[in-house]
Amino acid sequence: MLTSAGTSAGIDLCLHLVREDFGAATANQAARNTVAAPHRDGGQAQFIEHHLPAAVGTSLADTRTWALKNLAEPLLLRDLAAHAYLSGRTFIRRFIAETGLPR
């Protein structure tokens, strides 16, 4: 089973199927005809803007503010949890409950 989401991903999927059925040369020609990249590796980041709830009155507000100020550094779960004085598991549960976002 193959799935895709979004226009570019659908084109990538179609080119993959053409490549599997008819070879790379045919897929490359189809990509040129549609002005698409002949092959893109997966893993590109999603560029979807997520708005976080206001920081006032939430238990992780200080930690979220601290994390935003330190985005240039690696932010590990253990560091975020330690800043909030929580275990990693409790931090994850509270973070998801407050933001609606996965860790």
CA–CA separation, 69 and 61 (whole Å): 12
| Tokens matching residue 84 | 């909030």
Q: Is the dihedral of CA 93, 96, 102, 103 positive or negative?
A: negative
Angle at 20 between CA 41 and CA 27, to 5 degrees: 70
Same domain for 31 and 70? Answer: no
Q: Which residue did the predictor score with more confidence, 100 or 17?
A: 17
User: Which is nearest to 98 in space by CA: 66, 59, 70?
Assistant: 59
Name the pLDDT band for 52 (thresholds 50, 70, 90). Answer: low
Same domain for 69 and 33? Answer: no
Domains contained in the chain, number: 2
Name the pLDDT band for 11 (thresholds 50, 70, 90). Answer: confident
Residue ranges making up the domain that contains 94: 61-99
Q: Is residue 52 part of a domain?
A: no
CA–CA separation, 83 and 68 (whole Å): 13
Q: Is residue 75 part of a domain?
A: yes
CA–CA separation, 3 and 9 (whole Å): 9
Q: Is residue 54 part of a domain?
A: no
Same domain for 41 and 17? Answer: yes
Angle between helices 24-33 and 7-22 (to 10 degrees): 150
Q: Which residue did the predictor score with more confidence, 103 or 22?
A: 22
Name the pLDDT band for 83 (thresholds 50, 70, 90). Answer: very high
As a whole-number percent, the residues of the chain with pLDDT over 70 amount to: 72
